[in-house]
Structure 1
Amino acid sequence: MLIELTALHWIYVSFILLIIGFMVMRRDTSLICIIGIFILAITATGSLSSSISGIFNSFIFAITELLSTILVISIIVAMSKALTITGINDYMISPFTKLIRTPALAYWTIGILMMVISWFFWPSPAVALLGAVLLPVAMRVGLPALGVAMAMNLFGHGIALSGDFIIQAAPKLTADAAGLPVMEVITASVPLVFVMGAVTTVVAYIFLRRDMKKGNLQVGTISQSNFITGDLNEKERDVLSQLLTPNTKRIFAILIPLLFALDVVAMSVLNLQGGDATALIGGTAIFILILITIAAHKNKGLEKTTSYLIEGFQFGFKVFGPVIPIAAFFYLGDSGFTQIIGEFLPKDSQGIVNDLGVALASVVPLNAPVGAITLTGVGAITGLDGSGFSGISLAGSIAQLFSTAIGAGAATLTALGQIAAIWVGGGTLVPWALIPAAAICGVDPFELARRNLLPVVIGLVVTTIVAMFLI
């Protein structure tokens, strides 16, 4: 059933275009998002007081949705600071320095490890597992922190999450909506996932190397290490690194990876995924932080534990501060609208972004090439809410409609819509969705989104063309 588009839909689209335009111009978009929230609210309610309140309520909603990610990032950073200041980090990364000797090896090794771990446990816990250990290794061999974030982001939140071959949450949603067996969608998605992944990661690496050679991107210019070491000079860092004996550092260097490895085993045995897996990683990081602090600072361990946590939370909220207004605006495109502003959308509305996807599908001719282009467009539009998953059921439904009219290609179209939605909304383009990788690596999430934009768009174009021949 076609939903009639209202002024709210067109306002939302207009502000999306404005936000994209400002991001391309490297300008901050927080004010634009706040104005967008206000205009949507006053258009819907007609009440000035409700609209002003709506801005604040949208912030609360966004913070609530993002809180688990903010917490785990803050805790991981607090632990990383303790590791670096006590010198344990140097012992931990020494084995990897023998394996990763060049920026190219760092990029591809981190990316492939991220992809494999993400297949089993999803990307957020994988980022936490890999980032704290491999970021310093990569930077030492010349790969900038932004390059590390791109590798983890594109391979984890891109390739692994869009295919979701092991956990199968994404293909289950799209397959059910399209009326297809899950394995049929997974089989159809394999060539598309790997075409998208290969094109995007190779193009991203080429651009990365080009900017490194030109001097536009240098190692250490944007990195978590600036936060971790703070304003300490070399002499002060040397004194602090002597808080533990070499043998104690070696014990911790073995114990910490072992504890995280046990987390991986627990995730597998207990079938922990997504938020549960992230919580396990976060709890383990707190436990490690306490052990290190007590061992290193002895009598002052109680106070130092709190000090590290405070600095971790300061870092977490500093990173997320600019993201919250943007997240608040984009959440209005989904179920957040009703919860924040109220029941002001049309009766049969599925949310603003889903309505726009249905509207797009209803005005295009039904043939294989247009079907493929439309499913990519619908997937990308529904991914704008930053979830990646909220709109993939719609992609499955529209794929079923197109395949019925075309007479073939249901599984391929379903897989294509799923891939587009998750690459855009699951964590490679929408700024708050890629926060975990950006925060662990200490890079600007908006800069990471800009870096990902062209490779992902090129990947989507190539993948859409390939899908046309598979339908």
Structure 2
Amino acid sequence: MAVDLTALHWIYLLFIGLIIGFMLFRRDTSLVCIIGIFLLGLVATHSVSSATIGIFNSFIYAIKELLGTILVISIIVAMSHILTITGINDVMIRPFAKLIRNPFLGFWVIGILMMTISWFFWPSPAVALMGAVLLPVAARVGLPAIGVAVAMNLFGHGIALSSDFVIQGAPKLTSEAAGIPVSDVLSASVPLVFTMGIITTIAAYLFLRRDMKKGTIDAPLDIVPEQEEKKEAPTLSTGQKKFFALMIPILFAADLVAMTLINLQGGDATALIGGTSIVILIIIALFTYKNKGLEETTSYFIDGFQFGFKIFGPVIPIAAFFYLGDSGFKEILGDFLPEHSLGIVNDLGVALASVVPLNAEIGSVTLTAVGAITGLDGSGFSGISLAGSIAHLFAASIGHGIATLTALGQIAAIWVGGGTLVPWALIPAAAICGVSPFELARRNLIPVIIGLVATTILAMFLI
């Protein structure tokens, strides 16, 4: 299973380090990523023109991959804006305001709700479902926007996605690669998932509370893009507001039922939420603006799309670079990787696994590292089969612990790439909350590392 590392692998690894370093120093990484794309193209093709073309093609590839997320975020923001302008949102949030009375409750209630919904429908639809309703509640009790983003991201794309207890997409992939039943992976993952989740979220909350006390985080929360003064909707009566405030949760609840009955997951589930949001926006706009409803509907869409592409603009170069680490390389630059290459990031994971001694302690550390490396492409799922394969090899040498090693690799890959650390992978939560994905990645970094260390140590004792 050994793989020969080429100059392309070392260049990619170098720029991963540079990107992380620039992020830690709060500097923009777009130029670093573009230079990395150019150098990878130059080394692969030996042509300046081809490397330059590769920059543009990588942007196109990234936009195509991210377009679904861009659209649903834009639509949710457009819908959120009309709910705010008409006052419907105020009526919707009153029941939650009684439950969320301070920043502490806001962080944990939002996080636990996010985790629960994400187990059944995966995080991206859950972010869309929760964002329009719970964010204003958090603002009123003083929980800053970044705190809401951290809660939704860590509980959804971290705990729920890495465990995947209900849909079981992740454990199915890793168990098949490891050659063991999916039930074994699920059982072994329970103590690891909850250790990782509890330690990481507590650490994140403590850091958040510390910075709130210091006054280094702004408390106000505003997920609505700047609008022109013309957006002054006619006043709706109390009864009309209550009607729409009741209709909207019913429609989204119907979405949840439909997802369950026809087994919609991932992108399809997100699309259903997005389509429902469009219908809600159109109905409210036509009812509110009467004969001007046609024009105002289009205006709200434009505002939402402007917001979406403004948020995603800085992330496209980073996404383009990370896609080169996986399946995007061949489509963007051509077939220039070694014959038996699994993709740059997977090759790096295999290379790491092939040079370490085999025992429970080193095996645990290596599986965490391999999972984290394969998660650097930002999908989380692309490398978990490799983690399962390496767990199988390690367990064969150690003599036991295959389920624990498999679960550990799965958790590390998805926490890093699924994602709570790779900036473009956590855009849904960041965009809904109106915060920078880079800032969210920086805030997640130390808590996630603490969690991974603790989980890895626990795995050593469980093997």
TM-score range normalised by the length of the shorter chain:
over 0.9
Tell me which residue corresponds to 1:429: 421
Kept after mapping to 2: 8 A contact 1:223/1:443: no
Tell me which residue corresponds to 1:395: 387
The one-letter amino acid of 1:376's match is T
1:125 offset after TM fit, Å?
Answer: 0.2
Alignment of 1:138-149 (within 5 A): 138-149=138-149
1:434 offset after TM fit, Å?
Answer: 0.4
Tell me which residue corresponds to 1:298: 290
1:116 aligns with 2:116: yes
Kept after mapping to 2: 8 A contact 1:119/1:161: yes
The one-letter amino acid of 1:113's match is L
1:244 offset after TM fit, Å?
Answer: 1.6
Structure 1 stretches (4+) deviating beyond 4 angstroms?
none
Tell me which residue corresponds to 1:264: 256
Alignment of 1:153-172 (within 5 A): 153-172=153-172
Alignment of 1:99-114 (within 5 A): 99-114=99-114
State the aligned residue count.
Answer: 463
1:224 aligns with 2:223: yes
Alpha-carbon separation, structure 2, partners of 1:424 and 1:271: 27
Alpha-carbon separation, structure 2, partners of 1:272 and 1:40: 38
Tell me which residue corresponds to 1:286: 278
1:400 offset after TM fit, Å?
Answer: 0.5
Deviation readout 1:256-291 (Å, 9 max, x if unpaired): 011111111111111101001000000000000001
Alpha-carbon separation, structure 1, partners of 2:274 and 2:238: 27
Match of 1:273 among 265, 274, 280: 265
Alpha-carbon separation, structure 1, partners of 2:452 and 2:311: 29
1:242 offset after TM fit, Å?
Answer: 4.4
Alpha-carbon separation, structure 1, partners of 2:398 and 2:381: 26
Tell me which residue corresponds to 1:189: 189
Identity in percent: 74
Tell me which residue corresponds to 1:52: 52
Kept after mapping to 1: 8 A contact 2:170/2:381: yes
Alpha-carbon separation, structure 2, partners of 1:149 and 1:242: 32
Tell me which residue corresponds to 1:80: 80
Alpha-carbon separation, structure 2, partners of 1:275 and 1:52: 32
Alignment of 1:124-139 (within 5 A): 124-139=124-139
Match of 1:355 among 329, 347, 351: 347
Alpha-carbon separation, structure 2, partners of 1:419 and 1:247: 48
Structure 2 counterpart SS, 1:342: coil
The one-letter amino acid of 2:86's match is T
1:241 offset after TM fit, Å?
Answer: 5.5
Deviation readout 1:111-170 (Å, 9 max, x if unpaired): 000001000000000000001100000110110111111100000000000000000000
Alpha-carbon separation, structure 2, partners of 1:243 and 1:48: 60
Tell me which residue corresponds to 1:71: 71
Alpha-carbon separation, structure 1, partners of 2:234 and 2:344: 57
Kept after mapping to 2: 8 A contact 1:244/1:295: no
Tell me which residue corresponds to 1:33: 33
Tell me which residue corresponds to 2:213: 213
Tell me which residue corresponds to 2:303: 311
1:219 offset after TM fit, Å?
Answer: 1.2
Tell me which residue corresponds to 2:372: 380
For structure 1, the 5+ residue unaligned runs are none
For structure 2, the 5+ residue unaligned runs are none
Alpha-carbon separation, structure 1, partners of 2:26 and 2:99: 37
Kept after mapping to 2: 8 A contact 1:70/1:316: yes
Normalised by the size of structure 2, how large is the TM-score?
A: 0.99
The one-letter amino acid of 2:373's match is I
Alpha-carbon separation, structure 1, partners of 2:202 and 2:228: 37
Aligned-residue RMSD, C-alpha: 1.0
Deviation readout 1:213-241 (Å, 9 max, x if unpaired): 11011211x6314x26x465xxx88xx35
Kept after mapping to 1: 8 A contact 2:233/2:289: no
